[in-house]
Amino acid sequence: MSSERELLEESIKLELNVGEIYKIFSDFFGDDREFWQQLSLEEVNHAQLLKAGIEMFSAEMFPDELLFARLSDLQKINGQLEKLKKEYLI
């Protein structure tokens, strides 16, 4: 069973990965650059909020509704996003 801290740390990775994907979109879709940049910034802010929450509170204090149920799901999604990033950044 995964700890809440592991779920939060993997959730932070997810937010940052999605933010990087949006950044890639901003480069590919120049006409909508501002839109994608704003979404990217929002994802980075989500990650920062989670980091701050870990630092200020115990990971166990986060509501279950804010966390994925399974660490393996998060890891799988993050793996797919990492693959996408590598594919489009090369």
Per-residue CA distances from 26 to 2, 38, 65, 78, 87 (Å): 35, 9, 31, 20, 16
Mean pLDDT by 10 residues, the chain (90 residues): 83 97 94 97 96 80 75 96 87
What whole-number distance in Å separates Cα of residue 41 and Cα of residue 22?
Answer: 9
Its pTM stands at: 0.87
Residues 6 or more apart whose CB falls under 8 angstroms from that of 43 comprise 15, 16, 18, 19, 22
